[in-house]
């Protein structure tokens, strides 16, 4: 596995990451990591290779955009001194353009999204041993859907930045697309955004596959 022994892995993002994690720092047992993919990643690593002693921290906050991440980056990333960092952000950046079309100040358009995410990556990378960038997604198989088209655009930005800075890239949208050949979108998320346990496990699986996790 790419994540070395005795690493601290901080996972940051929006509600998909948050999932009811403990405040101010989501770490430890008893639901402190929330109920989503972060807790699943921690459990699978802990059960399969406990000797690696990988410490997982959940710093997701529901409703966040990349703009919000930038505002709390010092306290919620840099001050925690992670060895590895995972970032999945962009869903709200896109969603609010559709759910709140008249509230312009809540919108984060592609140029701001790319500039902000790249600045966070560029300034943080020297402090890390590894970085994982995961795409935002919508659980929608129709690629002509307006919000799906916009989400794909933001996902392409994530890939561009990951390629430029040598980060581990995880295409969560593509993973959901594969799942949608067998599932109707509402069977995974009624709002096409907040997945059930199958969807959360899919995110955990894709993350772990990308960092070379093995069952053995």
Extended beta strands in 104-204, E state: 130-134, 168-170
3-state SS assignment for residue 36: coil
Mean pLDDT over the full length of the chain: 97
pLDDT digits (tens, 9 = 90+) for 149-181: 999 999 999 999 999 999 999 999 999 999 999
Q: What is the mean pLDDT of the segment spanning 8-25?
A: 98
Residue environment code for 61-93, b if the CB has 16+ CB neighbours within 10 A, otherwise e = beebbbbbbbeebeebbeebebbbbbbbbbbbb
Q: What is the mean pLDDT of the segment spanning 39-47?
A: 97
pLDDT digits (tens, 9 = 90+) for 61-93: 999 999 999 999 999 999 999 999 999 999 999
Q: Residue 148 in contact with residue 138, Cβ under 8 Å?
A: yes
pLDDT of res. 7? 98
DSSP of 37-91, one letter per residue?
Answer: HHHHHHHHHHHH-GGG--EEEE---TT--HHHHHHHHHHHTGGG--SEEEEE--H
Q: Whole-angstrom Cα distance, residue 200 to residue 212?
A: 19
**Does position 54 have pLDDT exceeding 90, yes or no?**
yes
pLDDT of res. 216? 74
pLDDT of res. 159? 98
Q: What is the mean pLDDT of the segment spanning 89-100?
A: 96
Q: How confident is the model at residue 215 (pLDDT cuts 50, 70, 90)?
A: confident
Q: Token pair of 41, please?
A: 């990643």
Residue numbers annotated as active site: 15, 191, 194
pLDDT of res. 19? 98
pLDDT of res. 30? 84
Neighbour-count burial of 47, counting CB atoms closer than 10 A to its CB (0-12 exposed, 13-18 middle, 19+ buried):
exposed
* Number of other CB atoms surrounding residue 128 within 10 Å: 17
3-state SS assignment for residue 5: coil
The pTM of the full predicted model, rounded to 2 decimals, is 0.97
pLDDT of res. 29? 87
Measured in whole angstroms, the distance separating CA 124 from the mean position of its chain's CA atoms is 16
Q: What is the CATH number of domain 8-210?
A: 3.40.50.1110
pLDDT digits (tens, 9 = 90+) for 112-154: 999 999 999 999 999 999 999 999 999 999 999 999 999 999 9
Neighbour-count burial of 45, counting CB atoms closer than 10 A to its CB (0-12 exposed, 13-18 middle, 19+ buried):
buried
Instruction: State what percent of residues in the chain have pLDDT above 90.
Output: 98
Q: Whole-angstrom Cα distance, residue 4 to residue 38?
A: 18
């Amino acid at each position: 596995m790419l994540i070395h022994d005795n690493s601290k892995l901080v996972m940051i993002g929006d509600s998909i990451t948050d999932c009811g994690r403990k405040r101010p720092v989501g770490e430890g047992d008893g639901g402190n990591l929330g109920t989503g993919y972060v807790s699943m990643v921690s459990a699978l690593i802990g059960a399969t290779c406990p000797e690696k002693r990988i410490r997982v921290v959940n710093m997701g906050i529901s409703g966040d955009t990349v703009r919000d991440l930038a505002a709390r980056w010092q306290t919620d990333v840099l001050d925690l001194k992670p060895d590895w960092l995972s970032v999945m952000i962009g869903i709200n950046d896109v969603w609010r353009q559709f759910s709140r079309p008249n509230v312009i100040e809540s919108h984060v358009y592609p140029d701001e999204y790319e500039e902000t995410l790249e600045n966070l990556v560029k300034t943080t990378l020297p402090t890390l041993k590894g970085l994982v960038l995961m795409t935002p997604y919508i659980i929608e198989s129709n690629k002509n859907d307006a919000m799906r088209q916009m989400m794909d655009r933001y996902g392409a930005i994530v890939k561009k930045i990951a390629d430029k800075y040598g980060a581990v890239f995880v295409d969560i949208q593509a993973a959901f697309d594969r799942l949608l050949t067998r599932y109707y979108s509402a069977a995974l998320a009624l709002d096409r955004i907040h997945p059930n346990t199958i969807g959360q496990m899919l995110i955990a699986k894709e993350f772990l596959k990308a960092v070379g996790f093995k069952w053995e």
